[in-house]
Structure 1
């Protein structure tokens, strides 16, 4: 091809067309490229742009490329890009060059696709057809007829190309909705582009590209040649300008347009466009390309391969050389010794396998005991004898969990976090479970693991993910939980693909259920359990959107005295209790603070740490307190919540509850049980406001009593300070 222009044109039935000007010549498929030679550029010139090798006759900078009056060999390397951007130095629309092949005379380029988008009524919105233009006229480059394909993408769309005189050559199309045969759906944007066939068959995915609406670039193959003269014969007439400079080079006429290409002769490699550029290949060092199973001798441009002395046959084949004599005594001895060596090696191999198996068994037993497996088994038997039972808790083997997760396959991964990876598994009894494979565990945690596992297994609350068992015969124990099907609360409220509105009643219900689960762990579990990492990513939703608190990766049993409570700070930024950060003392009020952040996320649909505003406003808690102080709390709420708030007193009660939960002082925060009760009352009041004529003023009074008491306490002159943990500045004062 000598030149192309790309357009998407509106034609009847809203079809689109690509027009490519191309001569009617045909090209045969090129041979596979040979390995890239080592020396490629003129002395003193750059041979790299980033990780792209630039071979002469191409070059970067004056005097570094072949300048025969025909453009295309002069290149530019823009190192302000990362990685550096390599382009042709003239404005012919070659946006990026990625690879050269001297032997095949090919280059790989990237160009933007041609696009036109339409609205629902068929009107054109925008188009990039007129801006994507690649002009190869009178240059060294041609589009490869053998290695490129024409693609029309979208529905309905028609892509076609024409020759240099504008006559139709070929094209492809897909019909639109309403077609009686295909009945396909419309797509908003339609594309047409020329693309490398290999890329199309190995990289392109219909699903990934069918609904695209933005611009993107695709690779295509360019055939290049020396084209200032028509063929080799014309080139040799001017020895000074003849491009094949190496004395060991050959010239071949271009198969795609006028011109010629150079290559090293057989047995030589390098750059034929450079003086002395073709060097001898040592075939004896490349047995994979030039097999020789005898005596190999390198010669200029070739090599010899002969059978060793005393043998004859074909040395280029394995076992092709055989002794000239028949089966001799020496050969029998060698055969016998070889068989003995083989049997000895086979025996050693089986002994080694047995040793490794015993070593693996010992390692499993070591980990099992180290992780408290013996103690856990004893405690489970004690519970069974006492009639308490272990609530279906089971100690799994490593093989059981490997089988359940198909060898911990990547397609079974449910999520990754700071503490490990969670896999989806199917047990032998067909139960679907979630298996957490932790990254590490401290020695102190290992000593307490067995006791904590048995206590956590007995948590029986509908809003807490059930712990079903564990695996102890690995270095870091694996936990097995019940499977919750609807993902995390974090994705439910922040997923960009989810545009569905979430009613205030649903938000309050999820918050109340989560609060009840935490209250149960704080108040009803024996001993009490502190979660330590409450966040929306650790609250799961089932198929009915019922909340289930999960991930006890940082959970702690409440200590018997304060001396035991100091711990290394763990958790997630944005949710961490400031008091916990300063004192390293994890308390039940630390969970209350984190839950306050979760409640804010539910009401605002903003992340705990987000980057939409100024740097000092990146903490959701700091934004909330600033908004309350300025009387602009409603602006921070999600629009769906603002539309559903039925009364100002409900908004004030919610604000008061959140303010108390995120108080800088743990003593000022309400217990989790009180938070859950107030959320239940708030939800009931939102669904059935008692401010109507037949309302119940006593219940209304009861609902708001806690808020009024709290407000009265704050208005009595008591001051409270909070600090921005991220930058260490004070951000709120009452």
Structure 2
């Protein structure tokens, strides 16, 4: 099967996509936005093929971002029109679109073909004395209009909380619905309170599993199986997080502190690529029919959209 590739432009005379992964000796001589297009949101540089604003010529399809100037400093976000989030609670069991949740972009990596973002934490609490908002025990995430997928090499699916479980049902085809989808997930076990909170037993109080390659659409559900640990582990959480940025601590089991401390978000890595083809095929095409033209170089991406 042809390898996913990302096209890296050295921006000499034309402006085209600027991304991909290559060897450590490779470098980007010049990376910038298109002429007359905004190139920064706060302190974050936004190079083409990414872009934001009202002019659709400033970005490629699937790479539109937005810049929220109502906060200081401004925040770079994945455009809400291209990313849809539905949440369900354990109270009514129905999904509702979450208009106030958007993914914040913290960094755009061209050489690695990745976006560093913050994604959302689901939670379920069985100790009602915590007075938290209704449990977001299920979530439906749709990245169908973007060129982004959850990185299978950098992220782990994580569940925190004694006697809880969560699973993701996913599909990579936005037109076929959930027909033929697969699932992955894990279940958390704990021992007695003192043993669990001692931190001496690896894997107790949380579980992690890898995620499939190329996931764009998923439904995540979680539940607490037993409330016998509610005095020291009243809440359960599930999320997809960058394994280089999240490390479990027994303090994450206490009360609702984990959610509050992280503002309901965790660092996550999204992969992206321009073309679903091999460099050999791309370089044989007419320059007017594919993503880049003259003065470009093509590199194989280690984390294409698969």
Q: Same fold (TM over 0.5)?
A: yes
In the alignment, which residue of structure 1 is the partner of 2:60? 66
Structure 2 distance, partners of 1:117, 1:32, is 46
Distance 1:248 1:166, change over 3 A: closer
Greater fraction strand: 2
Are 1:237 and 2:285 an aligned pair? yes
Distance 1:157 1:208, change over 3 A: closer
Structure 1 distance, partners of 2:71, 2:25, is 29
Whether the aligned pair in 1 keeps the contact of 2:160 and 2:252 (CA below 8 Å) is no
Shift of 1:218: 0.7
Structure 2 distance, partners of 1:256, 1:197, is 19
Structure 1 distance, partners of 2:165, 2:26, is 38
Structure 2 distance, partners of 1:254, 1:237, is 22
Uncovered stretches (5+) of structure 1, i.e. residues with no partner: 1-28, 259-734
User: For residues 12-411 of structure 1, what are the structure 2 equivalents within 5 Å?
Assistant: 38-61=30-53, 62=55, 63-67=57-61, 71=62, 73-89=63-79, 90-93=81-84, 94-119=102-127, 126-130=134-138, 132-137=139-144, 139-164=146-171, 165-175=180-190, 185-186=229-230, 187-201=233-247, 205-207=249-251, 210-212=254-256, 214=260, 215-227=263-275, 229-232=276-279, 233=281, 237-245=285-293, 247-252=295-300, 255-258=303-306
Whether the aligned pair in 1 keeps the contact of 2:169 and 2:182 (CA below 8 Å) is yes
Distance 1:236 1:206, change over 3 A: farther
In the alignment, which residue of structure 1 is the partner of 2:222? none
User: Which protein has greater RCO, CA pairs closer than 8 Å, 6+ apart?
Assistant: 2
SS of corresponding position for 1:152: strand
Structure 2 distance, partners of 1:30, 1:143, is 20
Shift of 1:85: 1.6
Whether the aligned pair in 1 keeps the contact of 2:122 and 2:137 (CA below 8 Å) is yes
SS of corresponding position for 2:134: strand
Shift of 1:46: 1.4
Distance 1:217 1:146, change over 3 A: same
SS of corresponding position for 2:246: helix
Distance 1:46 1:209, change over 3 A: farther
Structure 2 distance, partners of 1:33, 1:92, is 35
Shift of 1:111: 1.4
Structure 1 distance, partners of 2:40, 2:238, is 33
Whether the aligned pair in 2 keeps the contact of 1:40 and 1:56 (CA below 8 Å) is yes
Shift of 1:185: 3.6
User: For residues 392-541 of structure 1, what are the structure 2 equivalents within 5 Å?
Assistant: none
Shift of 1:82: 1.8
Shift of 1:49: 0.4
Deviation string 1:694-716 (CA, Å, 9 cap, x unpaired) is xxxxxxxxxxxxxxxxxxxxxxx
Distance 1:52 1:206, change over 3 A: farther
Distance 1:107 1:79, change over 3 A: same
Distance 1:253 1:155, change over 3 A: closer
Greater fraction helix: 1
Distance 1:157 1:251, change over 3 A: same
Structure 1 distance, partners of 2:67, 2:183, is 38
Shift of 1:133: 3.6
Deviation string 1:95-151 (CA, Å, 9 cap, x unpaired) is 211101111111111112011121369xx9821234x44212353111111111121
Structure 1 distance, partners of 2:22, 2:163, is 35
In the alignment, which residue of structure 2 is the partner of 1:678? none
* TM-align CA RMSD: 3.6
Could you tell me the TM-score, scaled by structure 1's length?
Answer: 0.27
Shift of 1:155: 1.9
Distance 1:45 1:190, change over 3 A: same
Structure 1 distance, partners of 2:153, 2:74, is 29
Structure 2 distance, partners of 1:220, 1:240, is 35
